[in-house]
Amino acid sequence: MSKICFVCQQEIKNEMITALGNEYCLACFKCSICNKNIQGFFVIDNKPVCKEDYESRLPKCNKCQTPVKGSKLTDNQNNIYHPQCFSCNTCNNLITASYFILNNKVECGTCYQTQKDQLKKQSIKEVGTCQNCKKSIQSDQKCIIVGPMERYHLDGCFKCVKCRKDLQSQFIVVDAQRKTYACVEC
């Protein structure tokens, strides 16, 4: 009994391929996407597909950008990685425990903390100069603002002229020109 090609519906006279439950002439067995003749194949939607087209449809590793076949890891932003690519973006050490995402990149705990500290330092700004010690007051330091250009470090620089204790909340102006202040109790 002769075999009939699933595609051309002609009798198969020479080499044939049996795949997906059908027989094909060698010339008719083609990739369902690019239409190139194939011998080895993958299956998508129960149709034969060449290796290149199959791999082009696989998700790409977020680190190396090559197709992920087999085992894969996913971060908490649904990015996919080869297990050997799931590494810290900064130090390149493989992630084997907890990790963090910073600017859409995977970071180990150590690198994440270092970068977080650097970002914090970059966000600290000078808010003026202390009238007492003449040193810079940074946005992360406690200070008291008495007037538009009159600022003091809260601890150690804003003191009562009479008892020399740190002034905190309530105080009276002793001499506005000389910028001297006193406790309400004094």
Chain segment 27-38, per-residue pLDDT in tens: 999 999 999 999
pLDDT for the residue 154: 87
Residue 178: CATH number of its domain: 2.10.110.10
**Mean pLDDT value of segment 10-37:** 92
Can you say how many angstroms the Cα of residue 2 is from the centroid of all Cα atoms in its chain?
60
The verdict on 137 and 170 lying in the same domain is: yes
Mean pLDDT throughout 57-80?
Answer: 90
Rg of the Cα atoms in the chain: 36
Are 109 and 131 in a shared domain? no
The answer to whether residue 79 is domain-embedded is: yes
Mean pLDDT over 132-150 rounds to 89
Q: Is residue 81 part of a domain?
A: yes
Query: At 132, is the pLDDT very low, low, confident or very high (cuts 50, 70, 90)?
Result: very high
Domain that holds residue 46: 16-57
Q: For residue 180, what are its two tokens?
A: 């001297």
Question: Structural domain tally of the chain?
Answer: 3
Neighbours of 50 (CB within 10 A): 21
Q: What is the mean pLDDT of residues 105-124?
A: 86
Q: Give the pLDDT of residue 116.
A: 86
Residue with the larger pLDDT of the pair 2 and 58: 58
Verify that 77 and 111 share a domain, yes or no. yes
**4: in domain:** no
pLDDT at res. 1: 67
Asked if residue 103 belongs to a domain, the reply is yes
98 & 116 share domain = yes
Mark whether 140 and 108 lie in a shared domain. no
Contact predicate 148/168, CB 8 Å? no
**Domain match, 103 and 133 both:** no
- Same domain for 137 and 97: no
CB-CB neighbours of 82 under 10 Å: 18
Instruction: Answer for the pair 77, 101: CB distance below 8 angstroms, yes or no.
Output: yes
The answer to whether residue 83 is domain-embedded is: yes
Would residue 9 count as lying in a domain?
Answer: no
Pair (49, 87) in one structural domain: no
Residue 32 lies in a domain: yes
Pair of tokens at residue 27: 């010339």
User: Please, are residues 147 and 158 in contact by the beta-carbon 8 Å criterion?
Assistant: no
Q: What mean pLDDT comes out for the span 104-119?
A: 89
Q: Is residue 6 part of a domain?
A: no
